[in-house]
């Protein structure tokens, strides 16, 4: 999926994460800030990258400010931001396909 415009999903509230995606230049750049960076930084990063990979995103600047979100929340926020950024959130979200 191609990131067409910047988009955001999620909030900065506790147990949530705020994800911003912007068009990139050929690769995934992830800037991560987390309140549990030392404990789960690597796990969070991996979850974000896996989700992007599943969505077929290969070029994006991703900023994530995590406030202790669970993996399922992180996935959902990343998916939502990506769908918004390519204009799919209004009509054609691939439920059961890329979004599992």
Query: Could you list the residues that contact another protein (CB under 8 A)?
Result: 6-8, 11-14, 18, 20, 22, 31, 33, 35, 63, 65, 67
Three-state DSSP class for residue 20 = strand
Distance of closest approach, residue 96 Cβ to another protein, in angstroms: 28
6 versus 41: smaller Cβ distance to another protein? 6
Structure tokens at 58: 């290969």
Residue 93: exposure state from Cβ atoms within 10 A (0-12, 13-18, ≥19): middle
Closest CA to 48 of 86, 24, 21, 84: 21
Q: Per the structure block, which two tokens stand in for 50?
A: 């896996």
> What's the rounded Cα separation, in Å, for the pair 94 and 22?
21
Q: How far is the CB of 67 from another protein (least distance, A)?
A: 7
Minimum gap (Å) between residue 78 Cβ and another protein: 15
For another protein, the closer of residues 2 and 13 by Cβ is: 13
- Nearest distance, CB of residue 39 and another protein, angstroms: 15
Closer residue to another protein, CB minimum distance, 22 or 54: 22
């Amino acid at each position: 999926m191609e990131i067409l415009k910047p988009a955001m999903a999620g909030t900065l509230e506790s147990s949530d994460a705020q994800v911003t995606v912007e068009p990139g230049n050929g690769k995934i750049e992830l800037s991560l800030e987390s309140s549990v960076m030392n404990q789960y930084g690597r796990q969070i990063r991996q979850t974000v990258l896996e989700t992007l990979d599943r969505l077929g995103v290969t070029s994006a600047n991703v900023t994530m400010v995590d406030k202790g979100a669970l993996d399922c929340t992180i996935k959902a926020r990343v998916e939502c931001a990506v769908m918004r950024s390519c204009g799919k959130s209004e009509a054609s979200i691939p439920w059961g396909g890329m979004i599992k």
